[in-house]
Amino acid sequence: MSAHPAPALSEPARDLKDHNIVPETVVPGILYEKRPARTPDGAVVPGLFNAWITLDNPAQFNSYTTEMVKGTILAFRAASNARDVVAVVFTGAGDKAFCTGGNTKEYAEYYAGNPQEYRQYMRLFNDMVSAILGCDKPVICRVNGMRIGGGQEIGMACDFSVAQDLARFGQAGPKHGSAPIGGATDFLPVMLGCEMAMVSGSLCEPWSAHKAYRLGMITDIVPALKLDGRFVPNPTVVTDRWLDEFGKIVHGEPRTGEEAAAGREALKRGTVDLSLLDARVEELCAKILLTFPDCFTKTIEELRKPKIEAWNANKENSRAWLALNMMTEARAGFRAFNEGSRDDREIDFVGLRQALAAGTPWTDDLTESLMPKARGAAK
């Protein structure tokens, strides 16, 4: 029996208005579930819930299709309007990825070379980010795996991020034909400062969860790898020391040499268990439960403002640029990622720069010359 019985109403509830734009809709690739809210001691609270929104496309690392973007918007609106929801947990299916951004197969096969269509798609993407930033309930990103590209952007739109420590964080746009202007260039300077934002946003070198935690990008981390029945920290990154011999911070950086090889072997021997991640997410939800709801909402509305102001200032011109870019670099980059092998998914960057330096216009011939298959044919 619950220690928190539902309070008796002083008068019968009136017929309540439904503030959702459309009736509740099930969209393939998006799971929406209400889970019972719990107190810090684990007791179920009658009549109150946390809304779990799950990106359910694990075969493609939870990359979002156009339909999934629509479903995410509807899910956040439903959670925001639900009177009985305390908090929103935004996550991905499985243990490999929270989200790796837009579905590159769809990008390459439909949107590449189609700027007018991509412009409409970016309207939906912008509305998805705004739905997260404008949710009337606090949003916790449960980072169950890598958070890359557009996945990193929608993750940073959340209020809190709790990650399993095998997860990686970062952008991929400049390596694959895009710019991270779907939120990253707005949020990173606010969250990290200008220099680290420049590093994270432009170089496309993913950070470990430990580094993201150290630099203030995420709220908390927990171990997920079990070896011989016990949890251990991510063995592929430095977690047992803070500085190197020269005083440089190395905590959270990739291990190298023999340490890196040993870490990879440990990953192969271990098993991934996300029970500590779920427990930490529930713990955070329980802390939110024990606050005044309107006061908490007003607090997060104010704390969101630096991100929202940057986002609103740039999202429309970003949308226009991204659409036009589908005729040039994005067309080449997304095709290369989609058509290349697992180990060769990038264009010929040097060849592109040399061609542009010589004044070569963007043509189909130039695009084809940059593809991984062109390198294979030349060998």
Confidence bin at 14 (pLDDT 50/70/90)? confident
Res. 2: pLDDT tops 60:
no
- pLDDT value of position 15: 84
Q: In 3-state terms, what secondary structure has residue 180?
A: coil
List, for residues 132-148, the tens digit of each pLDDT value: 999 999 999 999 999 99
Q: At residue 184, what is the residue type?
A: A
Task: Label residue 1 by pLDDT band (50, 70, 90).
Answer: very low
For the segment 35-82, what is each residue's pLDDT rounded down to a tens digit?
999 999 999 999 999 999 999 999 999 999 999 999 999 999 999 999
Is the per-residue pLDDT at 331 higher than 70? yes
Query: Residue 301 corresponds to which tokens in the numbers above?
Result: 């509305």
Structure confidence by residue, pLDDT tens digits, 335-377:
999 999 989 999 999 999 999 999 999 999 999 999 999 987 6
Q: Is the pLDDT at 12 greater than 70, yes or no?
A: no
Among candidate residues 368, 290, 298, the one with its CA nearest the CA of residue 335: 368
Q: Strand ranges (DSSP E) for the chain?
A: 30-38, 44-55, 85-92, 97-99, 139-143, 146-148, 160-164, 168-170, 207-208, 220-222, 225-227, 230-232, 271-272
- pLDDT band at residue 256 using 50, 70 and 90 as cut-offs: very high
State residue 254's pLDDT score.
98
- Asked if the model's pLDDT at residue 89 lies above 70, the reply is yes
154 HSE (CA, 13 A, CB side):
35
pLDDT at 8: 59
Average pLDDT over residues 199-206: 98
% of the chain exceeding 90 in pLDDT: 91
How high is the pLDDT of residue 336?
A: 96
Q: In the predicted model, is pLDDT for residue 379 greater than 80?
A: no
Could you tell me if 145 and 98 are in contact, meaning their C-beta atoms sit under 8 angstroms apart?
yes
Given the structure tokens 């070896």, which residue do they identify? 227
Q: How far is CA 289 from CA 37, 87, 133, 294, 308, in A?
A: 8, 8, 20, 12, 25
Mean pLDDT of the 98-113 span? 96
How many C-beta atoms surround the C-beta of residue 269 within 10 A?
Answer: 11
Cα–Cα nearest to 284, from 112, 130, 86, 129: 86
Average pLDDT over residues 265-280: 98
Work out the average pLDDT over 30-35.
97
Q: What pLDDT does residue 158 have?
A: 98
Q: What angle do CA 6, 12, 15 make, to 5 degrees?
A: 110
Structural domains present in the chain = 30-224+273-326 (3.90.226.10), 340-377 (no CATH)
Structure tokens at 330: 């994005």
Mean pLDDT score across all residues of the chain: 95
* Predicted model pTM: 0.94
pLDDT at position 20? 86
pLDDT at 11: 65
Is 97 within 8 Å of 309 (Cβ atoms)? no
Name every residue whose Cβ is closer than 8 Å to that of residue 373 and which is 6 or more positions away in sequence. 339, 340
